[in-house]
Chain A
Amino acid sequence: MFFLRSIWLGAIATGICLLVGYPLAYIISRTGARVQSVLVMLVMLPMWMNFLLRTYAWMTLLEDNGIINTALATLGLPKLHMINTSGAVVLGMVYNYIPYMILPLYSALAKMDHSVIEAAQDLGANQRRVFTKVIFPLSMPGVISGITMVFVPAVSTFIISKMLGGGSNLLIGDLIDMQFLGSAYNPNLGSAISLVLMVLILICMGIMNQFDDGETRGGGLMI
């Protein structure tokens, strides 16, 4: 079922983006002002290179005779089969959309008042408690807007699955593309799928917004 597969892969990619992006956003927000702006710029920079080309470059890296496997072979390690799997599709999603996760997280974390953390520590909270009770709840608006900004394009993508999934790991986006400009012309079905996708995503947004305790989301959305 491509609908479930899309949501599943999109959710995994979003989860990985959050897990990988959060520590980085935290690290960036704790560095000095000058380094901070450079690092933020470095996060944004890849987005200015055409995303088709970057995905294509991943093809070069992941192929059976690609750069990674050649490197493994010269080190005497066994080859890995990576391209044309759903793992490759998830990797493509994570790669393309992780800046959209890091940036809102960063802006939420950077705005946070450091004295709150110190207060928590003074009151005897250990590091884990400080994180779960203070830092994470305070960064919630960033988390929410990061998740939305990654999940929506990841679920509806159709290029990444085509290029890295080898045409057999198709997603909703591919199905829509197929109905309009692809091999099975049927705009009525295509429109219906688009509408369902839109409703589905709006519901998901609604769910996400429920976790956002009435905070304004605008701040996190903008880079």
Chain B
Amino acid sequence: MKVASKVYTFLVFLFLYAPIFVLIIFSFNDSDTMSRSVFSGFSLRWYARLFEDRMIMDALKNTLIIAVVAAAVATVLGTVAAIGLNGIRNKWVRRMMMNVTNLPMVNPEIVTGVSLMLLFVFVAQSLGGLSLGMLSLILAHITFCTPYVVLSVLPKLRQMDPHLYEAAQDLGCDPRRAFFKVVLPEIMPGIVTGMIMAFTLSIDDFIISYFTSGTTQTLPIYIYSMTRKRVSPEINALSTLLFVAVLFLLVIVNLRQARDKRAQERKEGLES
């Protein structure tokens, strides 16, 4: 890289990471008044407080439950949908189905949130005044996560040799076995990517949750209610921890991908 490019890259990354550094630094701030602009010494007190804070821990628990359930369901739904989509022969039907699946991703989040809220409220009221809460949140998260899973599984299906499935059946597998033994392992990387994506989207989602949460608090909603008054450095501490966890996860995923890539290259090298 030329010097100019290096400087440019550095500046853009500085822009991207400046607020994150601020967050991390102030999670170690030793101050009574929750100040966000004066650093008055190093301390781990906010980390200690974090684990005692019932509200934050409850919100975190809710967020994780929703993310796990939504990611799992969305992965199954999305994979099934992708297989179905891949099987459609009619070009027009297929294009239309693709557009329908992509629409939630193009649609402004606030519109999705509002319309889901109206739908859920309507259903809840016709069921006798139920309250929105975990269930509606999970349903909403499944709704916006599924298209991303479809999008990451579909390319893998296209890459797959369609004759593999037939070959397995010719060799005596029943369709179910053929699917689980042949198709599934082949598209697994796409499924895993989709699931990770669904999980992170769900954890970070604020706008849609904000409209569909009813009385339940997830972490982003709790953070939002804090930004309207004062954000406690406990939240900085929590996000620092989450950030480190994600960094760790990403490094692992990246290493794995690099390994897969090398393996594939070797395989291709052997074939040619």
Chain A in direct contact with chain B (Cβ < 8 angstroms): yes
B222 shortest CB reach to chain A, Å: 10
A34 shortest CB reach to chain B, Å: 8
Q: How far is the CA of A176 from the CA of B151 in the complex (A)?
A: 30
Could you tell me if A24 and B9 are in contact, using CB atoms closer than 8 angstroms? Answer: yes
Task: Tell me the number of A-to-B contacts counted with CB atoms below 8 Å.
Answer: 149
Query: A12 contacts the other chain (Cβ, under 8 Å)?
Result: no
With A20-B12, A49-B23, A60-B22 already in contact, the answer to whether A31 and B111 are too (CB < 8 A) is: no
Query: B152 contacts the other chain (Cβ, under 8 Å)?
Result: yes
Q: Which residues of chain A have C-beta atoms less than 8 A from B13's C-beta?
A: 42
Query: A27 contacts the other chain (Cβ, under 8 Å)?
Result: yes
Q: Which residues of chain B have C-beta atoms less than 8 A from A46's C-beta?
A: 16-17, 20
Could you tell me if A56 and B231 are in contact, using CB atoms closer than 8 angstroms? Answer: yes
Q: Which one of B45-53, B71-79, B179-187, B243-251 is at the A interface?
A: B243-251
With A53-B223, A54-B23, A152-B106 already in contact, the answer to whether A198 and B111 are too (CB < 8 A) is: yes
Could you tell me if B12 and A50 are in contact, using CB atoms closer than 8 angstroms? Answer: no
Could you tell me if B106 and A205 are in contact, using CB atoms closer than 8 angstroms? Answer: yes
Query: B258 contacts the other chain (Cβ, under 8 Å)?
Result: yes
Interface size in chain B (residues, C-beta < 8 A): 55
With A50-B204, A53-B235, A95-B19 already in contact, the answer to whether A148 and B106 are too (CB < 8 A) is: yes
Q: Which residues of chain A have C-beta atoms less than 8 A from B12's C-beta?
A: 20, 24
B109 shortest CB reach to chain A, Å: 7
Q: Which one of A65-73, A104-112, A125-133 is at the B interface?
A: A65-73
Could you tell me if A52 and B220 are in contact, using CB atoms closer than 8 angstroms? Answer: yes
With A176-B114, A177-B110 already in contact, the answer to whether A221 and B151 are too (CB < 8 A) is: yes
Interface residues of B in 179-212 (CB under 8 A from A): 197, 200, 204, 206-207, 210-211
Interface size in chain A (residues, C-beta < 8 A): 65
With A27-B8, A49-B243, A153-B109 already in contact, the answer to whether A191 and B118 are too (CB < 8 A) is: yes
Q: How far is the CA of A155 from the CA of B108 in the complex (A)?
A: 8
The 0/1 profile, CB within 8 Å of B marked 1, for residues 117-129 of chain A is 0000000000000
Kindly report which residue of chain A lies nearest to residue B16, judged by CB atoms.
A46
Could you tell me if B22 and A156 are in contact, using CB atoms closer than 8 angstroms? Answer: no
The interface of chain A, by Cβ under 8 A from chain B, is: 20, 23-24, 27-28, 30-31, 37, 39, 41-61, 63, 65-67, 70, 95, 98-99, 148, 152-153, 155-159, 163, 173, 176-177, 180-181, 187, 190-191, 194, 197-198, 201-202, 205, 218, 221-223
